[in-house]
Amino acid sequence: MEGTSDRNLGLSENAIKVLEKRYLKKDADDKVVETPADMFRRVAKNIATADSYYGKTGAEIAETEEDFYEMMTRLEFLPNSPTLMNAGRDLQQLSACFVLSIEDSMESIFETIKDTAIIHKSGGGTGFSFSRLRAKNSRVRSTGGISSGPVSFMKVFNSATQAVKQGGTRRGANMGILRVDHPDVLEFVTCKENDKEITNFNISVALTEDFMKKASSGNEYDLIDPHTKKPAGKLNAKAVLDLIIKMAWKNGEPGIIFIDRMNKDNPTPAVGEIESTNPCGEQPLLPYESCNLGSINLSKMVEEGEINWKKLGETVRKAVHFLDNVIDMNSYPLKRIEDTTKANRKIGLGVMGFADMLFMLGISYDSESSIQIAEKIMKFILEAAKTASQDLASERGAFANFDKSIFNVPGAKQLRNATLTTIAPTGTLSIIANCSSGIEPIFAISYIRNIMDNTKLIEVHPYFKEVALKGGFFTPELMNIIAQKGSIKSLNEIPEEMQKIFVTAHDIEAIWHIRMQSAFQKYTNNAVSKTVNLPQAATIEDVRNIYMLAYEGGCKGVTIYRDHSREEQVLSVTTAREVKQPAATKISPRPRPPVTVGTTTKIATGCGNLYVTINEDKDGLPFEVFMSMGKAGGCAMSQLEAIGRLLSLALRSGIETNSIIEQLRGIRCPSPSWEKGGRIFSCSDAIARVLERRIVESKKKAPQAAAGPDEHIDKPAAEGAASTQTQKITKSKTENIVGVCPDCGSALWHVEGCMVCKSCGYSKCG
C-alpha cells in the first residue's frame, strides 16, 4: 500500500463500503490492502503508461497520470467498473461490453459458449443475436435431425452463465436479441413470461423499419428463414407488436431495439453489420468487438448555479484521452476481440449526475428547460469529444478502419475513434461518485437503508438536505415521512417551488422519460441506456404510446418497467382466493414458553457448515428455528437470523410445516454442495432438509401424538389473511424496487435497464 490519504476525497460511507467490497485489492485472506486513493492512483498510473507507446517522455506521462488521478479523485469522471477493478492488476481486463456472433452450426454455438465463459470469467458482459439460427423444427441436413431453435439454445447459454463465477467481483450478464422477421419470434417474445426462466439474459426484439411501417398500417410482413434467406411465412405486424407490448407491460421484457436505425449510424458498414448490443442495450457493436465506457459527473460541472462549460470541455478532453489509452492497456480475453477492437477503437463517453445537475440549476426534470439543457450538454460533449479524438488522430493516427468508415470523405479530419459517446448505466459508479444514475431522475428524495445489526438509517439526497436546511423546513420527522413516501409531492411542509424541482421517477409522466432519452440520443453516437418507469396502474395502451414516441423521437431502443409487474401473476391468484374465501381472521403467534427442548443438526453447505437448531412444542412438533454458521458474519449471518425469525413466526402461527418446507426446498445459490450423497443447493435448501428430517423423526417417535396447531387452523381464513397481507405489501410505497439483493439483502432497484442495489453496488448486468 502506498498509504495515500482518503481524507480529502469526499467519498460517502456507502461509496467506501462498495469500493471495499468490489473494487479494492485484497490479500489471500480477503483483507482489503489498498485505500480508495490508492486505487485511483493505481488506475491513473496504469492507463497513463499507454502514452509511452506514442513517444511521450517520462515527465509528460507523469503529468498525464496526475491529470487522470485528479479527475477521478474529484469524482468528475469515472471509467467503467472493470477498469477501476483491474487496471494495474494481474487480470488487466478493462472492457465492460462485448458482442459475439453465433453461426448456424453446432460447432459455432458451442465455440461461442466457450468464448462467453472466458469473457464472463474476466468480468465482461456479452451480447448475442440468435437470428442466424434456423427455426425450431427445421430439418438439419447433416444429421437428418430437427433443430430445437434459438430459444432452446438461449437456455443453454443461460445455464453456462450460471455456472461461471465472473471474476469474483462481477456476474455474467447477457443480452439476447432476435430479429422480428425470424420464424421463432413469437416463442422468443414470450420466453421470459415466467421470470424464473432464462434469468441471466435481458432480451430485446430487433425491429426493422419495414416492420414498423406495416405495424402502423396493420399489414402482414414476411418471416425470413435464416438458413435459406427466403420467406417462410407471414405474420400480422400489428398483432406481433401488440404481443411485444403486452409482454413488456406484464414483466418488463422484451425490450425493443430499432436495428435499421442502429445500422444507419454504424460507422464502419464496410467492415460488418451490427446485429446486437451489450447487456443493457446502449452499446451496439460488431461481432467480436468490445467497447470501453466512462462517465462524466455533471453534478461536478455546476458552480454557483451555472454550468462551467470550460471545466466540462477540459474534462471531456481528458476523458477521451483516458478511454483511448484504455484500448492500448487492455488485456483482451480473445485475440479476435483485440484485433476488432483496435481496428475501430470505439469509446463510449457518457454522463451521470444529470438529475443532480437539474436540482442545482433549479430546473424540473419534466420541463421544456430540462430537454433544452439535455440537448445543449450532449451536443457540447460530442463536439468536444470529436475535437479531442481528432487531436489524438493527428498525434497517433486514425483508427485502422477509418478508410472503410463513413467518415472517409474528402476534406474530413481523421478520427482516432469510430464512436465517441454512449449513455451507459452507472448504477455502481454513481454510488461511488455519490450522484444520480446516468440521465435518470432520482428514485427517492429520502429512503431507509438497512445496515448491520438491523439498524436503519434514513438517507436524504444531499442537495435537497442542503436546500431544506437553508429553507428552514428540514426536520428528522419530515425526512422520515419522505422516506416512507419516497417523494415530496403534495407535502404541505415543503414549498411548492421545491416540489416542482425535486421530482422523482414516479412523479414524472412517461412522455418526459422518452423525451429526455430522445434529447440525449440526438447527440450520442451509440445508444442511451434508460428505463421508462411506469406506475402499476399504467395500461397496455400507455406502453404502446411509449414505444411509438421512442420510434418517432429517434431513440435506438426502449425499455419499460411497470411497478410491481413481475408480481402480477401471484397477486391475481391471491385476489381470486380472497373473493372465494370467507373474511380473514387475524393470526397471532403462540407465546413462547420459558423453556423449550430441541436438537441441533450440522449440515454442510457451499458456504460452510450450517448448524440448525429446531426446538419443539409440548406435542413434539417444530416450534422455533435458530441458525448459525461457522465463520460467517455480516450479511450471511443476518440473513440466516432473518430466515430463522420468519420460520419461527410461521411455525408458532400454525402454518403447515410441509408448506414451509416446500417454499424453502430447491432454492439455489452459486455455491451448491454435497451432503451424505444428496445435493444441497443453498442454506435455505439445507434448512428445509433438516426440518423435513425432524418431522419424519417426530412421527416415528410419536405416531399417535395429539393434533398440532397445524390441524386446528382454519385454512381458508389463513389464506385470506395471507392474501390481505400480500395486498398491503403491494400497495406500499416501493416504486422501482424489484427484488432483494443476493449479496446484502437490501432492495434491488430497476434503473437504466438493469437491477441495481444502492447499498452494496451489486448489479445484475455486471
Task: Reply yes or no on whether the pLDDT at 601 is more than 90.
Answer: no
Per the prediction, the chain carries an average pLDDT of 86
Q: Dihedral angle at the C-alpha atoms of 429, 435, 436, 442, nearest 10 degrees?
A: 140
- Please indicate, yes or no, whether residues 128 and 107 belong to a single structural domain of this protein: yes
Q: Which three cell numbers stand for residue 164?
A: 461461471
Q: Which three cell numbers stand for residue 595?
A: 423453556
- Please indicate, yes or no, whether residues 419 and 311 belong to a single structural domain of this protein: yes
Looking at per-residue confidence, does 650 or 317 come out higher? 317
- Please indicate, yes or no, whether residues 112 and 248 belong to a single structural domain of this protein: yes
Residue range 72-82, pLDDT digits in tens:
999 999 999 99
* DSSP secondary structure code for residue 441 in this structure: P
Q: Which three cell numbers stand for residue 104?
A: 448456424
The pLDDT score that the predictor gives to residue 638 is: 76
Long-range residue pairs from 471-480, CB within 8 A, at least 24 positions apart, any chain: 471/495, 471/498, 479/446
The pLDDT score that the predictor gives to residue 651 is: 85
Question: Alpha-carbon distance 544 to 567, whole Å?
Answer: 21
What is the phi-psi region of residue 168: left when phi exceeds 0, alpha when psi lies from -120 to 50, beta otherwise? left
Residue 569 pLDDT grade (very low, low, confident, very high; cuts 50, 70, 90): very low
Q: Which three cell numbers stand for residue 50?
A: 499507454
Q: Which of these is catalytic: 282, 567, 735, 752? A: 282
Kindly state whether residue 683 falls inside one of the protein's structural domains. yes
The pLDDT score that the predictor gives to residue 1 is: 39
Looking at per-residue confidence, does 571 or 544 come out higher? 544
Burial of 411 (0-12, 13-18, 19+ CB in 10 A): exposed
Kindly state whether residue 287 falls inside one of the protein's structural domains. no
Question: Alpha-carbon distance 529 to 340, whole Å?
Answer: 24
Task: Reply yes or no on whether the pLDDT at 717 is more than 70.
Answer: no
Residue type, 139: R
Kindly state whether residue 514 falls inside one of the protein's structural domains. no
Q: Which three cell numbers stand for residue 294?
A: 466512462
- Please indicate, yes or no, whether residues 174 and 149 belong to a single structural domain of this protein: yes
- Please indicate, yes or no, whether residues 258 and 364 belong to a single structural domain of this protein: no
Residue range 47-62, pLDDT digits in tens:
999 999 999 999 999 9
- Please indicate, yes or no, whether residues 681 and 700 belong to a single structural domain of this protein: yes
- Please indicate, yes or no, whether residues 333 and 466 belong to a single structural domain of this protein: no
The pLDDT score that the predictor gives to residue 578 is: 32
User: Which stretches of 334-461 are DSSP H helices?
Assistant: 335-344, 354-361, 368-396, 427-433
Q: How many domains, in total, are found in the chain?
A: 4
Q: Give the residue-averaged pLDDT of 186-206.
A: 92
* Low-confidence winner among 125-129, 163-167, 430-434, 624-628 (lowest mean pLDDT): 163-167
Residue type, 593: P
Residue type, 38: D
User: Active-site residue 760, yes or no?
Assistant: no
Looking at per-residue confidence, does 454 or 362 come out higher? 362
Question: Alpha-carbon distance 83 to 440, whole Å?
Answer: 23
The pLDDT score that the predictor gives to residue 195 is: 78
* Low-confidence winner among 35-39, 122-126, 399-403, 566-570 (lowest mean pLDDT): 566-570
User: Active-site residue 278, yes or no?
Assistant: yes
Q: Residues near 38 by Cβ (< 8 Å), separated by ≥ 6?
A: 1, 2, 3, 4, 24, 25
Kindly state whether residue 543 falls inside one of the protein's structural domains. no
Q: Give the residue-averaged pLDDT of 210-220.
A: 97
Q: Which of these is catalytic: 97, 280, 635, 760? A: 280
Looking at per-residue confidence, does 660 or 450 come out higher? 660
- Please indicate, yes or no, whether residues 77 and 108 belong to a single structural domain of this protein: no
Residue range 247-292, pLDDT digits in tens:
999 999 999 999 999 999 999 999 999 999 999 999 999 999 998 9
Q: Which domain holds residue 175?
A: 97-277
CATH number for the domain harbouring residue 185? 3.20.70.20
Task: Reply yes or no on whether the pLDDT at 698 is more than 70.
Answer: no
Q: Which of these is catalytic: 14, 251, 278, 525? A: 278
User: Active-site residue 282, yes or no?
Assistant: yes
The pLDDT score that the predictor gives to residue 745 is: 62
Sheet strands (E) in 502-637: 531-534, 557-562, 597-605, 608-616, 622-629
Q: Strand pairing partners for 284?
A: 277
Question: Grid cell 483496435 — which residue?
Answer: 342
- Please indicate, yes or no, whether residues 253 and 345 belong to a single structural domain of this protein: no
Residue 714 pLDDT grade (very low, low, confident, very high; cuts 50, 70, 90): very low
Residue range 121-146, pLDDT digits in tens:
888 899 999 999 999 998 887 777 78
Length of the chain: 766
Kindly state whether residue 200 falls inside one of the protein's structural domains. yes
Kindly state whether residue 434 falls inside one of the protein's structural domains. no
Q: Give the residue-averaged pLDDT of 498-510.
A: 93
Q: Residues near 424 by Cβ (< 8 Å), separated by ≥ 6?
A: 80, 96, 280, 282, 283, 293, 295, 348, 350, 438, 529, 752
Residue 588 pLDDT grade (very low, low, confident, very high; cuts 50, 70, 90): low
Run of H or E residues at 671? none
- Please indicate, yes or no, whether residues 263 and 144 belong to a single structural domain of this protein: yes
Kindly state whether residue 289 falls inside one of the protein's structural domains. no
- Please indicate, yes or no, whether residues 305 and 416 belong to a single structural domain of this protein: yes
- Please indicate, yes or no, whether residues 103 and 248 belong to a single structural domain of this protein: yes
The reported pTM is: 0.79
Task: Reply yes or no on whether the pLDDT at 113 is more than 90.
Answer: yes
Residue 599 pLDDT grade (very low, low, confident, very high; cuts 50, 70, 90): confident
Question: Alpha-carbon distance 297 to 356, whole Å?
Answer: 9
